[in-house]
Structure 1
Amino acid sequence: MVRATDSVPLHWKRKNTVLTKRQAANHLVKQFSQVSDITVCNQRRHEVHQEIREKKKVTQQPTDEIMTCPFVMEELEGTLKVMQNGRSPEPDNITNEMLAHLGFQAKRKILGLFNTN
């Protein structure tokens, strides 16, 4: 059951239990796969699994190396995609929605700020 109002976040329930975001996503995937007629070729499946393995390798780097690597555009864009909208801005009055709609040049400037020693 899906429930949403203006002041209450979206919740997924299954058998009267509120699901976590991951559980809800997995439930949706399972349900969709049962009714979908989309086929995914084996090569694409292999590519996706390879991408997942590569991402896991990156997160398993030694802490010192991770902490000294410069941020890259993919990391910034990934973070901007998962930020929650509708949150109160910090004292600078910049909202998550503003950041999510930045153009490429503005994102480059922000990366430069983050990567300045």
Structure 2
Amino acid sequence: MPLTLGAIILNVKDLGPAREFWTAALGLTPAGNPDFLLPPSTAPATRLHLDENDQTHLDLWIDHETDTLESEVERLISLGATRVEDWTYPPDADFVVLKSPDGTVFCVID
């Protein structure tokens, strides 16, 4: 049997605010150890993308049935995220680059 992707580890400066942000942003639930956050049981499997040029980051996909890209970006900003203003976007970009309060760069994808 092949291995399964068990966890993504984020190096954060302060566990409390990071836990609060990511729990609210992704609808996660603390499990056992309060620093282990589990997705809802209905969440799709997480993919692993390999790239020779990009930095390690999270890609977060919006739910088209309930959200738009801008509404989700605004929700995350209200939770403490900030836009990465100096990012170079391609002309047809379907994503926005944000930074969590703990400094983790992530993309919100339409």
TM-score by length of 2: 0.23
Which has the greater radius of gyration?
Answer: 1
Please report the TM-score for the alignment, with normalisation by the length of structure 1. Answer: 0.22
Structure with the higher strand share, 1 or 2: 2
Flag the structure with higher helix content.
Answer: 1
More relative contact order, 1 or 2 (CA 8 Å, 6+ apart): 2
